[in-house]
Amino acid sequence: MSGAGAAGAGAAAAPAAAAATAAAAAAAAAAPIDTDLYSRQIGTLGMDTMKKLVQLKVLVSGLNGVGAECG
């Protein structure tokens, strides 16, 4: 019986998570791109590509500081 309850709870949480994801995507799409900050990337890649890049979500994990900036 508890298995059915857990499945029901997961099914109820899925629409809420989808709504939150859709709201975050809409906010990212509405946010303007800082053209002063990204002027070189815009010049190289174009504004259409930058709009796509702004909407991406990326997770980088387990690379032992590959992205760490060395001063």
Task: Provide the pLDDT for residue 30.
Answer: 64
Assess if residue 67 is contained within a domain. no
Q: Which of 29-38, 44-53, 57-66 has the highest mean pLDDT?
A: 44-53
Query: Helices (H) and strands (E) in the chain — how many of each?
Result: 3, 0
What pTM, to 2 d.p., does this model score?
A: 0.44
| Number of domains, the chain | 1
Assess if residue 60 is contained within a domain. no
DSSP code for 32: P
Q: In the structure encoding, which two tokens stand for residue 46, read together?
A: 């174009």
**CA distance linking residue 5 with residue 64, whole number of Å:** 41
Assess if residue 69 is contained within a domain. no
Task: Provide the pLDDT for residue 47.
Answer: 93
Assess if residue 44 is contained within a domain. yes
Assess if residue 33 is contained within a domain. yes
Domain hosting 43: range is 2-55
Assess if residue 61 is contained within a domain. no
**CA distance linking residue 18 with residue 1, whole number of Å:** 27
